[in-house]
Chain A
Amino acid sequence: MADQSRQSRGQISIRNVTKIYDPEGVNVMAVDNCSLEIAAGEVCMIVGPSGCGKTTLLNAIAGFHSITEGEIYMDGELLCGPIKPKAEQGADRMVVFQHGALFPWKTLAENVAYGPMVQGVMSKAKALDKAGHMLAEAGIGDMAKKYPGEVSSGMARRAEIVRALINDPKVLLLDEPYRAMDALTKSIMHESLLEVYDRTKVTIFFITHDLEEAIFLGDRVVVMTTRPAKTKVILDVNIPRPRGYQVLSSNQFRVLVEDAKDAVHEEAVKAFEAGERELA
């Protein structure tokens, strides 16, 4: 697709965002004064301990939840801020969910065609046709007429990314999409995501626990502190693209993983101790 237009869209600016959950008067600060600039066309990987508030940030960008303080901009336009605590949901920011959220009652092709159809930009026949093409491009064309329950989790996740891409989003928001997959499937998923990225240069906001995944895929790896979340360290990954699997055994990769491990381990220990305290 047109790279130039791509480069100028999908820039996310998170400025001093704070989120306080208030279930029955118990204030829980999920995100504390967090700032992060994500360039257009960047693959930004977010890592941090479980329950640290990464998903809260993603939900704020997607418009699922409000924020308490701060602002989030996309391409210079305010998504949410003091005057508008909750962003509007829109097809310019597509989410791929943790355990997958393909509609089980629709075939893969119908799932992919859903967006253009409800937006009224394509007729049903045309949308299904395009969905078929895009699924074929992703290597799962012969699964187009199957229901999500009939295909493997890897194929379902690939279809879900296709379902997001057909809407031509500015940003892809991925919330641990490859969690609980075996290493082999995961590596195939990574290759296919990188292939998609190299083709579309869409901005990617990717939450994960897996450091190797983060470094293999990302331009930058943002390590978050334990709750309340803010950025702890940002690692630049200067491994040239397109990246193949040889990267995993390179020295540069190993060094980056070690760096990230130290930062994350520290936070994981803190999170664990905080958890122990909460339980006690």
Chain B
Amino acid sequence: MSETTQNATSPHGSHASGDTKPRKKSKLEKAITSKTFWRGVVALAGFVVCWEILSSIKEWTGYDMPIFAHIPPPSEVISAWSEIFWFPGYWESWYLSTGRVFSGFIIAMLLGIPFGLCLAVNRYFYDIFFPPFEILRPIPPLAWVPASIVFWPTTEMSITFVTFLGAFYTIVINVLGGARSIDIRYLRAAQSMGATQWHLFSKIILPGTLPSIFTGAAVGMGITWEVVLAGEMISGGGQQGGGGLGFFIWSSFMGGTVAQVIVGMISIGIAGYLSSSLIRYIGSIAMPWRRLF
């Protein structure tokens, strides 16, 4: 299956590159004609084929394959997906989870970046705020769920809060580490050239910390997806603040099929991948000097 896809598209690919030879290839074209892209495609296809075979062994031979005998094959998952695909409820789950992830994540960025930078540049601030931060940090965001349901007036707010926590710690730690590891020679050079405190901060420390900020953001984004899903499973789809992909998986498990559960899981994989791609893309725009290689 993988081979036919490759054969079908490769002549097209070479044709396109031949067409635009004198000019530079567009980014998309480069990506699609690259070996890395096709290796990825083949690997994914290979994975799906193996899964199909392993899950279908029982049907074909009667041998009760451990684990895999209980997993629906991809063909079944795809047919479940094509059914769900037309339900507005499925897309509403996407919408709700994405909204929670991004609101928690953006609040975490807005608070975490300045907080981390303050920790890095001000000794007093560090001495006062770092110890409580370090005590709160090991508490898993999910341990906050019951408490935050009590704190916040709506379930929606408590899920967002827990999501925020998931990203906040990672972002702060990365910003702090990044700002501290800025080469002192940059600061000295800038100061020698007459940089004011504000210039040091905005022109040296901030751009110098950007790579760490984006590393923290990418990791934090992953954590928010983990947290939001668990939060949704726990809070359930009650009258207020229900739904979301987490609840979708849970309700599929309780009342639907395993194939639907897997559809929900793959949806999260895709959503998470799209989110981190977005962050990488913003990172490459914000840090043109890192695009060199």
Number of B residues near A (Cβ < 8 Å) is 23
B193 contacts across to A, CB distance below 8 A: 91, 94, 114-115, 118-119, 163, 167
Given contacts A94-B192, A101-B186, A103-B186, contact A147 B292 (CB under 8 A): yes
**One of B33-41, B107-115, B154-162, B202-210 contacting the partner:** B202-210
Residues of B within 8 A of A94 (CB): 192-193
Q: With an 8 A cutoff between CB atoms, is B196 at the interface?
A: yes
- Does A95 sit within 8 A of B, measured CB to CB? yes
Which of B188, B192, B196, B288 contacts A91, CB < 8 Å?
A: B192
Q: Is the CB of A114 within 8 A of B190?
A: yes
* B70 CB within 8 Å of chain A: no
Q: Are B192 and A104 in contact (CB under 8 A)?
A: no
User: Is B15 close to A, CB under 8 A?
Assistant: no
Question: Which residues 172-210 of B have a CB within 8 angstroms of A?
Answer: 183, 185-186, 188-196, 199, 203-204, 207-208, 210
Report the interface size for chain A: residues with CB under 8 A from the other chain. 26
B62 CB to nearest chain A CB (Å) = 61
Looking across the interface, which residue of chain A has its beta carbon closest to that of B185?
A: A101
Which residues of chain B come closer than 8 Å to A163, judged between CB atoms?
193
The answer, among A63, A89, A101, A119, for a CB contact under 8 Å with B183, is: A101
Instruction: Indicate if the CB atoms of B194 and A90 lie closer than 8 Å.
Output: yes
Query: How long is the Cα–Cα vector from A99 to B188 in the complex, in angstroms?
Result: 14
Q: Are B192 and A97 in contact (CB under 8 A)?
A: no
| Cβ-neighbour of A149 out of B191, B204, B292 (below 8 A) | B292
Q: How far is the CA of A198 from the CA of B287 in the complex (A)?
A: 38
Q: Is A245 at the interface (CB under 8 A from chain B)?
A: no
Contacts of B186 in A (CB 8 A): 101, 103
Residue of A nearest to B288 (CB): A147
One of B199, B208, B292 near A118 (C-beta < 8 A)? B199
B contact residues around A103 at 8 Å (CB): 186, 189-190, 203-204, 207
Interface flags for A62-88 (1: CB within 8 Å of B; 0: not) read 111000000000000000000000000
Counting chain B CB atoms within 10 Å of each CB, the highest count among A64, A89, A101, A105 belongs to A105
Nearest-CB residue, chain B, relative to A149: B292
Measured CA separation A115–B293 after assembly (Å): 28
Could you tell me the distance in whole angstroms from the C-beta of B206 to the nearest C-beta in chain A? 9
Residue A150 interfacial (CB < 8 Å) = yes
Contact: B194 with A150, CB < 8 Å?
no
Enumerate chain B residues within 8 angstroms of A89, measured Cβ to Cβ: 188, 191-192
Q: Name the residue on B nearest A115 (C-beta).
A: B193
Task: Please encode chain B, from 280 to 293, with 1 for each CB lying within 8 Å of some chain A CB and 0 for all others.
Answer: 00000001110011
Scan B75-96; emit 1 where CB is below 8 A from any A CB, else 0: 0000000000000000000000
B196 to chain A: which residues have CB within 8 Å? 118
Q: Is the CB of A95 within 8 A of B192?
A: yes
Nearest Cβ on chain A to B88's Cβ, whole angstroms: 46
Which positions 95-134 of chain A face chain B at CB distance < 8 Å? Answer: 95, 97, 99, 101, 103-106, 114-115, 118-119
Chain B CB within 8 A of A170 CB: no
Contact B189 A118 (CB under 8 A): no
Interfacial chain B residues near A104, Cβ < 8 Å: 289
Give CA–CA (A101, B184) in the complex, Å.
9
Query: Which residues in window 153-190 of A have CB below 8 A to B?
Result: 163, 167
| Bound form: Cα–Cα A106–B186 in Å | 12
Interface pair A64/B188, CB less than 8 Å apart = yes
Residues of A within 8 A of B199 (CB): 118
Q: Let me know if A93 is at the binding interface, CB within 8 A.
A: yes
A147 to B293, CA, bound (A): 11
CB B293 to nearest CB in A, in angstroms, measures: 8
* Contacting pair B190 A150 (CB below 8 A): no
Complex Cα–Cα for A97 and B190 (A) = 12
Which residue of chain A has the shortest Cβ distance to B206 in the bound complex?
A105
- A139-156 CB mask vs B (1 if < 8 Å, else 0) is 000000001111000000
Closest chain A CB from B292 CB (angstroms):
5
| Smallest CB gap from B199: residue in A | A118
Which of B194, B207, B292 sits near A115, CB closer than 8 Å?
B194
A275 CA to B90 CA, complexed, in Å:
70
Q: How far is the CA of A63 from the CA of B192 in the complex (A)?
A: 9
Query: Shortest CB–CB separation between residue B20 and chain A, in angstroms?
Result: 25
Instruction: Give the CA-CA distance A87 to B290 in the complex, in Å.
Output: 36
A99–B183 CA distance with the chains assembled, in angstroms: 11
Known contacts A105-B207, A105-B208, A115-B194; decide if A149 and B289 are in contact (CB<8 Å): yes
A95 touches B195 (CB 8 A): no
Where the two chains meet, the residues of A that have a C-beta atom closer than 8 Å to any C-beta of B are 62-64, 89-91, 93-95, 97, 99, 101, 103-106, 114-115, 118-119, 147-150, 163, 167
Task: Offer 21 A-B interface pairs, CB within 8 angstroms, sorted by A.
Answer: A62-B192, A90-B192, A90-B194, A91-B192, A93-B192, A94-B193, A99-B185, A101-B183, A101-B185, A101-B186, A103-B186, A103-B203, A118-B194, A118-B195, A118-B196, A118-B199, A119-B194, A147-B288, A149-B289, A149-B293, A167-B194
Q: Which 7 A-B pairs have the closest CB atoms?
A: A115-B193, A101-B185, A105-B207, A119-B194, A147-B289, A97-B185, A118-B195
Given contacts A147-B292, A149-B293, 5 further A-B contacts (CB under 8 A): A95-B189, A97-B188, A101-B189, A103-B189, A118-B193
| Interface, chain B (partner A; CB < 8 A) | 183, 185-186, 188-196, 199, 203-204, 207-208, 210, 287-289, 292-293
